Structure 1
């Protein structure tokens, strides 16, 4: 057993694409700590001296177990994590304190733990394990179970409410089903229905009277503000669209190389932008380092995502391949939505920028993902593993 453990540890140090994932994760976190230091120096100190060391230690721990054990543990851990979401919604339970109206955190000594951050990891692992041993998802009715696996945590997270985290589940499911070989015509039919539902909700929000609205007032405001900004209507800047309009101004003031730290601190301070260390950290980062900073950040996200996908492409274990695809899709979606809302292209959803925004649970979950990718890349393919997904009937699958 000891020899097997040392063999596993030696395998981690072999060259693999996953080291680029780790490299990108560390650099993004460094960028984030400097951006947080611009607006909240104390939070930056906590991020680098408390949360990052804890995250790195946890990452090293998840590098050790074999992916086979990860798969076996994914179901029971997913159940426990979903139960933690249920616990958050029970009125009067201890350790749960609403923040900004959301019941998303469990208050532990010295920190607030956000279970949804870990549910999304276990969701990817659990879904990968389910798809690993079945091919029923290649029929339309067979998609029911994967969507049910998504639906349960999705509804519980929406009830908190945490729309930002909830938005990550559907694109991740879509990417993993495509990677597993589900028929695209089935998937795009479901996507078309989803897009149609979104169009109807947006149309009702913009055109229908108040007594016919489907969304809550603050959700209606966020959608209307996006259209106001797109039409060049700046009259709502001090009210409905203040957060996005202020973020866009901070970005516009950056130039190509950004501003000096003191100048950027003054600009951001008097802009009074909400959550500059968290949801709206992208405008802070751009104001500090300009469009050079944008290119650097986007380049690092590209390295992280592409190396994770390369790990998936090189593995013959379906569980590993699907997990890496799911993690890459989740990071891509989260970064895209956050940047889109800061640019006024999407409504404000309260989603963080991966590795950049402040948050103990966030940085911990992201480095767990990084550790899992490094772990998966280091493992040789199991001799008795089922062959990779076969596409002998590719014409039938993609019709």
Structure 2
């Protein structure tokens, strides 16, 4: 027996017919969760699934980060260790209810997130509530810690895009392909206004990966990538384009270009952070210099944000190239676990959600380590699970929790996605 439904150009088919007379269940209530558990018992829970690979890799990265932070900032390391149980709790909370239930909450989650992104930009809000740092308004003060709405925006946006691609448009058409970019522009623009270029850069590469998984035409995706490459080249080498950037962004671009050309004139000013990071990376050699000597080198070089954005430089200084390689391997293992979870999911929403979330973590890792070794301009982006920061860590664990959620569920029917012509 089979059932087919069609919604705005996208057809989904199931190998089993759902009971349309069954009353709607209550989401996120004791009764709703009890009914969820009963249905999952019928459909089955895959306790052995690829999502656990992500959990183990994330935990090892978290431990690596705490030890690395302790090399230079023991106080921050203790604080980060306190955030680890909170991150695990957040992952557990999002892993318990069936991930398909989150689709019902996407509209209200989007409104809350957009409201928070606007809130941090309001000039009248007292600095005791929204704490400016180095001219950026990104953090809301909750007393014991600060909360960064742009971190929440990454997860909520992913839920929204996975829901959108599942139900709304034929993305093989020009209209269906372009519309997600227009929707994504709203949170990206708000994040850029904070300003937070690093976080804003995550959305477009992740969206392209989602489009590929969702079945978009590859030449459409390739065209966007080509436009992106041309744009990046223009920013790096066309002065008229650089003039449109903010002063600190212009400085970072000039420092990167000078570094590529072997020009050391910016090493003591706008290129200082990148130069010091590369110095520490080179000092580590193959196997590293050990804890005590690493502490001395880091203090002597005065690397800014060594416990946060530049934590990869600390890792390679203390444990050498092998430490950096181990970090990349752990992220690779996490990505493999996430993509295998996506491939094993039985519904479109689960496949899109798992692959998109893991891609976002992977893109963030590439940008962070790339700027540390001098391949990209400094953007102020953290290394997931490794850099110091409560909001970043909890959000990263929520990401892994959602991937595990997809892996745990075994729906009672297989959903197949067909794009209508």
Could you state the TM-score of these two structures normalised by the residue count of structure 1?
A: 0.92
Determine the structure 2 residue equivalent to 1:219. 249
Deviation per residue, 1:63-114 (Å, 9 max, x gap): 1111221121122202210111011111111411211111000111211000
State the shift of 1:198 in Å. 2.8
Q: 1:305 aligns with which of 310, 325, 335?
A: 335
- Counterpart in 1 of 2:143? 109
Whether the 8 Å CA contact 1:21–1:305 is kept in 2: the answer is: yes
**How far apart, CA to CA, are the structure 2 residues paired with 1:202 and 1:297?**
29
Q: Distance in 1 between matches of 2:225 and 2:265?
A: 35
Deviates more, 1:222-231 or 1:302-311: 222-231
Q: For 2:251, what is the secondary structure of its paired residue?
A: helix
- 1:323 pairs with 353, 375, 379, which one? 353
How far apart are the structure 1 equivalents of 2:183 and 2:351?
A: 19
Deviation at 1:192, TM superposition (A): 2.2
Residue number in structure 1 paired with 2:173? 139
Tell me if structure 2 keeps the 8 A contact 1:12–1:374. Answer: no
SS at match of 2:85: helix
Q: In 2, are the aligned partners of 1:172 and 1:330 still within 8 Å (CA)?
A: yes
Pairing 1:73-152 to 2, within 5 Å after superposition: 73-94=105-126, 95-152=129-186
Choose which of 52, 62, 65 in structure 2 pairs with 1:32.
Answer: 65
The residue aligned with 1:296 is 326
Q: CA deviation at 1:200?
A: 2.6
> Aligned match of 1:53 in 85, 88, 103?
85
**Does the residue aligned with 2:141 lie in a helix, a strand or coil?**
strand
Aligned residue pairs: how many? 386
Partner of 1:352: 382
Question: In 1, are the aligned partners of 2:298 and 2:314 still within 8 Å (CA)?
Answer: yes
Q: Which residue of 2 aligns with 1:396?
A: none
Q: Provide the residue aligned with 1:397 in structure 2.
A: none
Deviation track 1:112-145 (CA, whole Å, cap 9, x = no partner) reads 0001001000101100000011342210122232
Q: Per-residue CA shift, 1:14-39, capped at 9, x if unaligned?
A: 11111110000000000000000001
Task: For 1:78 and 1:143, locate their aligned partners in 2 and report how far apart those are by CA, in whole Å.
Answer: 21
User: What is the CA-CA distance between 1:260 and the residue it aligns to?
Assistant: 1.8
Structure 1 alignment gaps of length 5 or more:
394-399
Q: Any gaps of 5 or more consecutive residues in structure 2? A: 1-30
Corresponding residue for 1:234? 264
Whether the aligned pair in 1 keeps the contact of 2:170 and 2:420 (CA below 8 Å) is no
8 Å CA contact 1:278–1:352 kept in 2: the answer is: yes
Q: Is residue 181–residue 389 contact of structure 1 (8 Å, CA) maintained in 2? A: no
1:257·1:292 contact (CA, 8 Å) conserved in 2? Answer: yes
Deviation at 1:391, TM superposition (A): 7.5
After TM superposition, give the deviation of residue 377 of structure 1 in Å.
0.4
Matched, 1:249 2:282: no
- Which structure is higher in helix share? 1
TM-score, normalisation: structure 2: 0.88
2:396 to 354, 358, 366: 366
In the TM superposition, residue 202 of structure 1 has moved relative to its aligned partner by 2.6
Distance 1:147 1:164 in 2: 18
Q: CA RMSD in A?
A: 2.0
1:184 aligns with 2:218: yes
Closer, same or farther: CA 382–70 of 1 in aligned 2, 3 Å: farther
Aligned equivalent of 2:364: 334
Distance 1:4 1:191 in 2: 41
Partners of 1:354 and 1:168 lie apart in 2 by 12
CA drift of 1:187 comes to: 2.0
Q: If each structure's strand is expressed as a fraction of its own residues, which one has the higher value?
A: 2
CA change 1:39–1:9 in 2 (3 A) is farther
Q: Distance in 1 between matches of 2:96 and 2:412?
A: 16
Does the aligned pair in 2 maintain the 1:317–1:382 contact within 8 Å? no
Residue of structure 2 equivalent to 1:380: 410
Q: Indicate the SS of the match to 1:103.
A: strand
